[in-house]
């Protein structure tokens, strides 16, 4: 990513350090039980996760973007309406798997940060699933290509994503290995697989 960063690095050197530093923070998220202090499903929880992961890397960690962004053919929510949209998404119900998925899809459409949305929002999703359903997604069981194509499809039709993620649910919510392998998988979707979370 060509975004300004605090590391004074660019290219592959930046990518590796971004992965290493934020994966180390992800591990601490689990070990220090940071998520227990946040309100599952709120935008403020997502901001806190994003800030926690990326505060040593990006100036904008945890802060709602003010510029418009797109990926492929898809334009994420207009920065102009973002604050209001995020309040509405925070207030969406989360009492069933289908409602939680709908909320996750809306949060992806919002894409509140310039970078790091995918990784932060997957942790945010698991936090909701754990609190409301006593389950999390074992992301190591979610195929990267299927996942990305289901996400691209999700603003129009959510069937693929729903089936894909439902099949990877586990009640093993306190398993540190599952957590770390999920982080590795989550980074792999973004092309980041230079380090293993357990090694950083
Ligand atoms: N065309 C698309 N339409 C909708 N969502 C997408 C699209 N492409 C990618 N995504 C979602 O955006 C995420 C990547 O967002 P990004 O801010 O780059 O996060 P990260 O920095 O963690 O990679 C992907 O993991 C996926 O969930
Ligand atoms: Mg990215």
pLDDT, tens digit, for every residue of 67-83? 999 999 999 999 999 99
**What ligand is nearest to the CA atom of residue 49?**
1
Neighbours of ion ligand 2 (CB under 5 A): 190
pTM assigned to the model: 0.98
Query: Which among 129, 91, 130 is positioned nearest to 107, based on CA atoms?
Result: 91
Give residue 121's pLDDT. Answer: 99
Please state which CATH class domain 11-199 belongs to.
Answer: mainly alpha
Give residue 3's pLDDT. Answer: 77
**Ligand 1 pocket list (CB less than 6 A):** 71-72, 74, 108, 115-119, 151-152, 189-190
Q: Give me 196's structure tokens.
A: 């293993």
Give residue 6's pLDDT. Answer: 95
Give residue 4's pLDDT. Answer: 83
Task: Give Rg (Cα) of the chain.
Answer: 16
How far, CA to CA in Å, does 33 sit from each of 22, 28, 46, 137, 174?
16, 8, 15, 18, 11
**One pLDDT digit (tens) per residue for the chain, 200 residues:** 467 899 999 999 999 999 999 999 999 999 999 999 999 999 999 999 999 999 999 999 999 999 999 999 999 999 999 999 999 999 999 999 999 999 999 999 999 999 999 999 999 999 999 999 999 999 999 999 999 999 999 999 999 999 999 999 999 999 999 999 999 999 999 999 999 999 99
How is the chain split into domains, by residue range?
11-199
> Which residue's CA is the nearest one to ligand 1's atom 7?
152
> Which residue's CA is the nearest one to ligand 1's atom 14?
118
Ligand 1 nearest atom to the CA of residue 154, by list position: 4
Give residue 2's pLDDT. Answer: 61
Sign of the torsion formed by the C-alpha atoms of 133, 135, 141 and 145: positive
Ligand 1 nearest atom to the CA of residue 115, by list position: 17
Ligand 1 nearest atom to the CA of residue 192, by list position: 23
> Which residue's CA is the nearest one to ligand 1's atom 27?
118
> Which residue's CA is the nearest one to ligand 1's atom 25?
118
């Amino acid at each position: 990513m060509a975004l300004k960063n605090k590391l004074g690095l660019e290219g592959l050197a930046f990518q590796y350090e971004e992965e290493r530093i934020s994966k180390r923070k992800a591990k601490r998220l689990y070990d220090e039980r940071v998520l227990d202090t946040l309100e599952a499903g709120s935008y403020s929880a997502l901001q806190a996760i994003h800030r926690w992961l990326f505060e040593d890397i990006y100036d904008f960690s945890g802060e709602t973007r003010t510029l418009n962004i797109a990926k492929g053919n898809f334009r994420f929510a207009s920065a102009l309406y973002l604050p209001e949209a995020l309040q509405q998404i925070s207030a969406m119900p989360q009492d069933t798997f289908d409602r939680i998925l709908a909320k996750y899809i809306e949060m992806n459409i919002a894409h509140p940060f310039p970078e790091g949305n995918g990784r932060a929002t997957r942790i945010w999703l698991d936090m909701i699933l754990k609190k409301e359903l006593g389950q999390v997604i074992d992301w190591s069981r979610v195929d990267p290509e299927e996942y990305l194509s289901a996400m691209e499809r999700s603003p129009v039709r959510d069937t693929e994503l729903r089936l894909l993620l439902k099949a990877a649910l586990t009640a093993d919510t306190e398993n540190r290995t599952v957590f770390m392998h999920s982080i590795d998988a989550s980074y792999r979707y973004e092309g980041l697989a230079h380090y293993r979370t357990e090694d950083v």
